[in-house]
Each structure stands twice: as structure tokens, then as C-alpha cells.
Amino acid sequence: MSNHQNPTPPIVLTIAGFDPSAGAGVAADLKTFSAHHCYGVAAITALTVQSTQGVKSVHVTPASELRAQLDALLEDIKISAIKIGMLGHRGNAVVVAEFLDRAGVANVVLDPVMKSTSGVADLLDAGGVKYLAEELLKRATVVTPNIDEAEVLSGITIKDHASMEAAAVKIVERGARAVVVKGGHMEKAIDVLFDGDGVLNLGGDHVKSENTHGSGCTFASAIAAQLACGRPLRDSVLLAKAYVTKAIEKGYSIGKGPGPLDHFYRIHQEPPARGIHEVPQHGMHPAAEPTSR
């Protein structure tokens, strides 16, 4: 038996809800981590009943069970970065804040999920929103709100690019170390990054695709993975935006609603021609060895 040990990749934790269609939430996060050569682990905050057509109901994990999941991971694994998504209610938000204080992980990406994309389902209760704004913000390396979430966190109505910048500055003033206000639903797909030192505008063209399910989760997870790999924040955000843009471009439909991104677009290969099979050249059973003619 060989004593050789393979190097362990950076380990990234997602704290988020589960989407049965696997386009968003924990499933999207884990795929994103793998696509960035990281190993993903997860703590589930809620089970949702949803498909590509939207969220039908949400069943939030009790705070005690979320705490137990996080404690088990903390006792066993060295975590390089954390991505926080849907929390469900205030109790889970408190558990996550306490966990962050104990864990001491340097790279924390907070995606302040409040409502489903359709706006039908609340994914965080009012008490949770208040706690997130007052406590979780200041524990994160970077916060990644969309326009609606940025309005809630900043108190500013966002109508144009200038108000996006104003909201970003206000969110940092309220305790965040850095923020990316996502402009995907604006006329121009420009995201605004503010880290306290200066504003960086991240331009991009709208990708003509309906297959955007889970794009926000994927963006936050890609930032977390880049940070886990040792890259600085601005580089991590730039690389994450480029990755998500291409993953949307390569996305595909799986049901009757908006489909998922293609998280593994970088590694897809053409399947072998019909009837051609690659034979492994090591560890084969003697009966499987090719015979000479």
C-alpha cells in the first residue's frame, strides 16, 4: 500500500438552502467550488420545494440543527472560506454569526438572500433581515446584494448607476468591509464594488439567455473560491464575474422555467465516438488485459 498522500485543495463551506432542481443554493455552490478546484462542504439552512418554475414552499432548518451541523464541521475540518446564502429566519442568522466568531475564517462572502427571484417566497424573515443588517454585515469580507437587497441594506432607492454607487458606500458605512452591488437587472449590466478605498465599476454585456437560475449564488460562491485560493478581493470579484458571465452564456434548459448555469463549461469534452472506449492501462484484472494477435 502506498503512503503517498495527495494534497488537499482549499475547503470552502456553504451555509445555504437546498434547491431540488439543483440550480441554486447549496447544489450550485458545491458545483462552483468544484469548478474552481476547491472542495465544498455544506450546512443546510432550509429545504425548499421548488423547480425551475419557482419556489412553492420553504421549510427552515431549526437553529439547533444548523448549529450542530456547523459544530461538526468546525471540529473536523480546516475551512479556507465561507459563503453564506439563504438563512430562513433570525435564529439561523444568530447561529451563523456565533459560528463566524468561533471559526475565525478570514474569507467570508455574504449573499444577503431575502426573497426568491419571483418575489413569491420570503427566504428570510423580518427579524433575520434586521439582524443581518446589524450583525452579519460586519462579519463578512464582502457582501453581494442585488438591487432590491441593496435598497433594503442601504435605505436608498436605486434607479441608476449613481444611486448604485451611493448604496454601496452606505452599506460599507453601516458596517460591511466591502460590497458588490449587482446590476444584472439594470439597463446596463454593471456591478459596483466598493471596499472603502474606492469604487470599481465592473462592466459587462447582458447575456441573452433565460438560463440564469442560481446566478447570484454562483457569483458569491465563485468569489469565495477565489479568495480561498489566495487571490485578493478585487481580483476575486473580477474573476467571479467573468466566470458567471460565461456560465450563463453556456447555460441550458432542464425544465419548463429558467434553466441553470453551466458550472463546468471549462471542462466539457466531446464524448468519444460510438464504439470507441478508452481502456485503462493500470490496475486491470489479468482477464481484462488486451491480448496480442
String of DSSP letters for 129-187: HHHIIIIIGGG-SEE---HHHHHHHH-----SHHHHHHHHHHHHHTT-S-EEE--TTSS
Please, which residues have CB within 8 angstroms of residue 108's CB and are 6 or more apart in sequence? 81, 82, 84, 100, 139, 140, 141
Q: Around Cβ 290, how many Cβ atoms within 10 Å?
A: 8
Q: Set out the domains of the chain in order of their start, with CATH numbers.
A: 11-264 (3.40.1190.20)
Residue 232: burial class (beta carbons within 10 Å; 0-12, 13-18, 19+): exposed
Q: What is the pLDDT of residue 148?
A: 94
Q: What is the pLDDT of residue 135?
A: 97
- Whether 74 and 45 have beta carbons less than 8 Å apart is answered as no
Q: What is the pLDDT of residue 293?
A: 39
Side-by-side strand order, sheet with 191-194: 54-60, 39-51, 11-18, 81-84, 107-110, 142-143, 179-181, 191-194, 199-202
Which of the 8 DSSP states describes residue 279? P
CA 65 to CA 70: how far, in whole Å?
Answer: 9
CA 26 to CA 29: how far, in whole Å?
Answer: 5
Q: What is the pLDDT of residue 290?
A: 43
Q: What is the pLDDT of residue 275?
A: 58
Q: What is the pLDDT of residue 289?
A: 41
- Whether 234 and 193 have beta carbons less than 8 Å apart is answered as yes
Task: Look at the alpha carbons of 219, 224, 227, 228 in this order and tell me if their dihedral is positive or negative.
Answer: negative
Rg (CA), the chain: 21
Q: What is the pTM of this model?
A: 0.90
Strand-pair category, 54-60 with 39-51: antiparallel
φ, ψ of residue 131 in degrees (nearest 5): -70, -40
CA 263 to chain centre: 11
Residue 40 pairs in a beta bridge with 12
Among residues 168, 255, 251, which one has the least CA distance to residue 214? 251
Q: What is the pLDDT of residue 285?
A: 42
Among residues 252, 243, 261, which one has the least CA distance to residue 38? 243
What does each of the 293 residues of the chain score in pLDDT, given as a tens digit?
Answer: 556 789 999 999 999 999 999 999 999 999 999 999 999 999 999 999 999 999 999 999 999 999 999 999 999 999 999 999 999 999 999 999 999 999 999 999 999 999 887 666 789 999 999 999 999 999 999 999 999 999 999 999 999 999 999 999 999 999 999 999 998 766 677 899 999 989 999 987 678 889 999 999 999 999 999 999 999 999 999 999 999 999 999 999 999 999 999 999 998 755 555 654 454 444 444 444 444 43
Q: What is the pLDDT of residue 216?
A: 95
Element (H, E) at 108: strand 107-110
- Whether 230 and 86 have beta carbons less than 8 Å apart is answered as no
